[in-house]
Structure 1
Amino acid sequence: MAELITVDDPDDPRLSDYTGLTDVELRRRREPAEGLFIAEGEKVIRRAGDAGYEMRSMLLSAKWVEVMRDVIDEARAPVYAVTPELAERVTGYHVHRGALASMQRKPLPGVGSLLAPESGNVRRVAVFEDIVDHANLGAAFRNAAALGVDAVLLTPRCADPLYRRAVKVSMGSVFLVPWTRLGSWPEDVDLIRSAGFTTAALCLSEQSITLDALAARQHEKLALVFGTEGDGLTPEALAAADAHVRIPMDAGVDSLNVAAASAVAFYATRPASA
């Protein structure tokens, strides 16, 4: 059972994991370097724990202590009870959900091991190229979890899916879908292809086929590749892909944002048994 510790000093060093949560650049550097991430809200904290992430500490306002009592009883990490005002001074914003937890990251798997047959029946993979908006990435992970995508691969410049906003938007779905980061892009398309996947780039190009046409081919293993909302996929990624695919649009609209496009593509290409 974790010890419940009341803290009344915002400069208490025991709260250092939670300082400056609104400083995006600071947290982007600090969290991966220190091997931590922040889970916000009861549901997200519980999902992180269920996914096997180890808790470093928890920060709770008084009214959330009883709500999280079972988590406190099972935790081996310190639990800090603070007032909402102190939580805001430490984090830099009003913590609406009243519960934060600092969690320990896990080592990322290699691409080969993630896609290997022994990892499970991995048939559909999403590849996100240079998605830097945390909300879009979190929403895309939520779509992947909801629509049965087996794994997610991120290019080196993609945002951190364990950054607080991405985790929050995903409602903890980033813990439900296996993922890793590619070491080199688009060279690592060869790793995906060697694992038996056909790579399909979502884009507008002269040689693109419709999403329905792609789905009709019923590829045994399919990797869907998505680019940024503004620029789309890089020319190098397009050249490396096995197929170009477009989502047909009406009313003069030529594209959807990456989160919406991923939901459409995931649903359209779901396996026949799903």
Structure 2
Amino acid sequence: MPETPLHPVDPVVGPDQAESPMTGVGPWQGEWPEDPWYDPELLRDGDTRNVVDRYRYWSMEAIVADIDDHRHPFHVAIENWQHDMNIGSIVRTANAFAADTVHIVGRRRWNKRGAMVTDRYQHVEHHVDVAALVAWASAAELPVIAIDNVPGSVPIETFRLPERCLLLFGQEGPGLSPEALAAADAVLEITQFGSTRSINASAAAAVAMHAWVMQHVSFDAS
């Protein structure tokens, strides 16, 4: 699908009306576009979803299909020991960085509030335990890269992340289980310089995903 911006003359926002990224845009003014990715109900009623401008008025299915065309080849796994709010935040971050898939390990139910509805646009799979996740990763030929600040871990800033890999994160507090650490092909830590022992699990996931982006995504400097 092409890079489709908002209507070139911005039919929604007039000179006395400022668009807010939190409230979205109103009904489409003027002749409706005929491109198949537009959702007639959104064109009619407006689009208040938390999506970037290029996806305004697109159907959810069209957005997912378009992201699928350029998803990055890294996966994210979360060892879900408890009903952790951080899981939703990690799903939201994975969506922002166009991760291939998020894998939830353990309890199937998880708190989706932190995802801010991004789980609708992000592929999410469930595995009953670490063994099932590792078996899936092995079949997919994805090295497992654990992120945890445990003895023997390697600074992520000095490690070359594989282009295709599974980034594995643990719950806030206890971190990854011994089984998860033992199954990992590498264990990395995010270098810290202050007094706290650890950083928030969802923040750590964001740092690790961005580290992958910095190593594998080309940016035009012009």
Verify same fold: TM over 0.5: yes
Asked if the contact 2:80–2:170 (Cα under 8 Å) also holds between the matched residues in 1, the reply is yes
Aligned to 2:30: none
Aligned to 1:146: 96
Aligned to 2:136: 191
Asked if the contact 1:150–1:178 (Cα under 8 Å) also holds between the matched residues in 2, the reply is yes
Aligned to 2:35: none
Counterpart-to-counterpart distance in 1, 2:89 and 2:117: 10
Residues 70-106 of structure 1: CA deviation (Å, up to 9, x unaligned): 38xxxxxxxxxxxxxxxxxxxxxxxxxxxxxxxxxxx
Aligned to 1:33: none
Residues 100-130 of structure 1: CA deviation (Å, up to 9, x unaligned): xxxxxxxxxxxxxxxxxx9986510000001
Asked if the contact 1:137–1:159 (Cα under 8 Å) also holds between the matched residues in 2, the reply is no
Name the structure with the higher strand share.
1
Residues 222 and 242 from structure 1, CA distance in 2 versus in 1: closer, same or farther, beyond 3 angstroms?
Answer: same
Asked if the contact 1:132–1:158 (Cα under 8 Å) also holds between the matched residues in 2, the reply is no
Task: Normalising by structure 1, report the TM-score.
Answer: 0.51
Deviation at 1:140, TM superposition (A): 1.0
Aligned to 1:155: 105
Counterpart-to-counterpart distance in 1, 2:82 and 2:99: 21
Paired-residue identity, %: 28
Asked if the contact 1:226–1:233 (Cα under 8 Å) also holds between the matched residues in 2, the reply is yes
Higher RCO (Cα < 8 Å, 6 or more apart): 1
**Structure 1: segments with no counterpart, 5+ residues:** 1-40, 44-66, 72-117
Deviation at 1:147, TM superposition (A): 1.8
Aligned to 1:227: 170
Alignment of 1:170 with 2:115, yes or no, is yes
Residues 146 and 119 from structure 1, CA distance in 2 versus in 1: closer, same or farther, beyond 3 angstroms?
Answer: closer
Residues 68 and 137 from structure 1, CA distance in 2 versus in 1: closer, same or farther, beyond 3 angstroms?
Answer: farther
Residues 153 and 240 from structure 1, CA distance in 2 versus in 1: closer, same or farther, beyond 3 angstroms?
Answer: same
2:204 is aligned, of 261, 268, 271, to 261
Deviation at 1:155, TM superposition (A): 0.6
Task: Report the secondary structure of 2:131's partner residue.
Answer: coil
Aligned to 2:8: none
Task: Normalising by structure 2, report the TM-score.
Answer: 0.62
Task: Report the secondary structure of 2:130's partner residue.
Answer: coil
2:183 is aligned, of 240, 252, 257, to 240
Q: Which amino acid aligns with 1:129?
A: E
Alignment of 1:128 with 2:71, yes or no, is no
Residues 199-244 of structure 1: CA deviation (Å, up to 9, x unaligned): 1111122221111122xx2412111101111100000111011111
Give the superposed CA RMSD. 2.9
Deviation at 1:135, TM superposition (A): 2.9
**Aligned residue-pair number:** 158
Counterpart-to-counterpart distance in 2, 1:233 and 1:156: 12
**Structure 2: segments with no counterpart, 5+ residues:** 1-21, 25-41, 47-67
